[in-house]
Structures are given as structure tokens and as C-alpha cells.
Amino acid sequence: MSESPAPASLVQVRGVGHSYASRSGTREVLHDVSFDVAPGEFVCIVGPSGVGKTTILRDIAGLQRVTAGEVRVAGSVLTGPSSDIGLVFQDYSRSLMPWMSVRDNIALPLRGRMPKTDREQRVASAVHEVALDGHEEVRPWQLSGGMQQRVAIARALAFGAPVLLMDEPFASVDAQTRADLEDLALRVRDDTGQAVILITHDIDEAIYLSDRIIVLGGRPASVLEQVEVPFGPVREQLVTKALPEFGRLRTHVHTLIETASRAMTQATPVVDATR
């Protein structure tokens, strides 16, 4: 029997719905969410606060089970956390072990998965990729916020998964550090060929980073539009953000989100911590 060809899409989200139990009954957060992500593609997910962006990311990560539809990664239906997926969260201070060195934090998910020599090579490569050379023995609490997030990114790189999920990873740093980390994320994608799915509230960040932006809206949330970003792989903070097309896209995405936000506000109020 011949092997079936690999899917063109690395991540396939098909008709995903997600509901949570509450005191008043079942609350549906996501409804019929569908999109694909190709190998090496950078996709950002945006939408109003409380729409369910983090919920869909957790579904894709396998951290929780979908209540409708399915998520496939590398052709296999996701039923839990997968070795094909790396994660970078917003709160780097909680994701890093403060008593462990930078090197040991990066190596943590590799323990027991490979020989020590291979593990050390993976860690060294990741350290170099995020420009942390010379900081291997430093503890995270001795680093700036931006450098701590570089450690978290390096750990995900060392893990070697073909899909990298990032939940507002640059929201807790200053503007200049944020720009530096955005450029780092693009360089990492180019160097590794990873598919990246990033959640953000920042429209400019989404446009600067993305090949495609997925806009969520509604209650329950669905995909309002998938916005193609035509800038190609080479981007520069000042040059790219000054392009007329960048301004047009900013206005378009902002209008989609504002319209969705007003519609959610006019709907029946629901306490929602799913972002």
C-alpha cells in the first residue's frame, strides 16, 4: 500500500466549536471556526477583547478538547498536547523556572527525549538564534523582560516542533523591545521554516508579522474574514509600516474589529475571560 501524500496545510482547523459550562447553562464561545495554516506561514489571529482568541489557540495546542469539529496537525487529528507544537506565552515570568539557568530552562522540554550531546547542540543553536550567547548560566530573574521572552522563544525553538503558537508574546515589554522581538519572530520563521500562529491585540503588529490575518468576531465567535498581507518575506519596521498599503490594511482590519466589538456590546452581556 502506498503512503498517502502529506497535506498541503500543516494545521487544519475544521468547523471548530467550543462551549463552556456556566451556572446559567452551556455558553458557546466559538462556532464553526475553520482555517488552514501552511508550512512556513505566519498567521495572526485578531478580534475584539473577549471574543475567544486564546480559546482557539488552546484548542490548536491540544490543551483542551474542542466540543465540535476537529483540529489536524501534520495530518493527524489532535486529541491532546502534541510534539509537533511549541508554545510561547505572554507571561514569560511564569513559564520560566527562576532557579534554573537560561541553558537549563531551554533544555527542560528536551530531557528524556534525546541523548545529552544532541540536547546540548539543540540548546546551543537556539541560544544563538535568539542572540543570547554569553547568557547561558544567568538566571531568568537577572534578565530584562525582553531577554526573558527570548529565553522562552529559544526553548520553543529547541523543542523543534514544526508549529509555533504564540499568545500575545510581546504585550508585556516596551515599544522598542517589542519591535526587536517582532523582527526576531520573523527571522526565526525564516530560519526554521516553522508555521507560526500568533494571537495579538495590536493591529500594526498583526499586519507587520503576518502573511495572513484571521479576524474573529461574533458571539459565539466565527471567522469574519481572512485578510491577505502582500508584503513578502522581507520587512523593515520603519519602511514597511510607512507603506500606503499598510495604512489601508490597518483601516480595514480596525473597521472589522470595531464593527464586531460594537455588535458584541449590543448583544446580551456575558462575563468572558477567554480573550
The confidence score (pLDDT) of residue 1 equals: 40
Which of 13-27, 151-165, 230-244, 253-267 has the highest average model confidence (pLDDT)?
230-244
The confidence score (pLDDT) of residue 275 equals: 53
The confidence score (pLDDT) of residue 3 equals: 45
Structure confidence by residue, pLDDT tens digits, 62-81: 999 999 999 999 989 998 88
What are the Cα distances from residue 84, in Å, to 74, 75, 79, 129, 191? 8, 11, 13, 20, 17
Asked if 222 and 32 count as a contact pair (C-beta separation under 8 A), the reply is yes
In the predicted model, what is the mean pLDDT of residues 192-218?
95
DSSP one-letter code for 221: B
Asked if 206 and 253 count as a contact pair (C-beta separation under 8 A), the reply is yes
173 is a domain residue: no
Quick check: pTM over 0.75? Answer: yes
Structure confidence by residue, pLDDT tens digits, 30-51: 999 999 999 999 999 999 988 9
What are the Cα distances from residue 72, in Å, to 13, 101, 126, 173, 216? 7, 35, 27, 33, 20
166 is a domain residue: no
183-186 contacts, C-beta under 8 A, 24 or more apart = 183/237, 184/130, 184/131, 184/150, 184/153, 185/42, 185/153, 185/209, 186/42, 186/233, 186/235
Q: Higher pLDDT residue, 174 or 271?
A: 174
160 is a domain residue: no
The confidence score (pLDDT) of residue 198 equals: 95
Cα dihedral 81, 85, 91, 96, rounded to 10, equals 90
C-alpha to C-alpha distance for 39 and 55, rounded to whole angstroms: 22
203 is a domain residue: yes
Asked if 172 and 226 count as a contact pair (C-beta separation under 8 A), the reply is no
137 is a domain residue: no
| Domain count of the fold of the chain | 1
> Is the model's pLDDT at 8 over the cut of 60?
yes
| Average predicted confidence (pLDDT) for the chain | 88
Cα dihedral 208, 93, 273, 177, rounded to 10, equals -20
Q: Higher pLDDT residue, 7 or 236?
A: 236
Residue 268 pLDDT class (50, 70, 90 cuts): low
2 is a domain residue: no
50 is a domain residue: yes
Q: Higher pLDDT residue, 198 or 8?
A: 198
C-alpha to C-alpha distance for 108 and 25, rounded to whole angstroms: 40
> Is the model's pLDDT at 217 over the cut of 60?
yes
112 is a domain residue: no
Residue 251 sits in a domain of what CATH number? 3.40.50.300
C-alpha to C-alpha distance for 183 and 144, rounded to whole angstroms: 18
Structure confidence by residue, pLDDT tens digits, 92-123: 777 889 899 999 999 988 887 888 888 888 89
Residue pointed to by grid coordinates 525564516:
190
In the predicted model, what is the mean pLDDT of residues 173-182?
88
C-alpha to C-alpha distance for 66 and 79, rounded to whole angstroms: 9
Residues of the domain holding 40: 7-84+196-275
The confidence score (pLDDT) of residue 267 equals: 63
Residue pointed to by grid coordinates 540548546:
123
34 backbone φψ class: left, alpha, beta (φ>0; ψ -120 to 50):
beta
Would strands 68-73 and 11-22 be described as parallel, antiparallel, or unpaired?
A: antiparallel
Residue pointed to by grid coordinates 465567535:
221
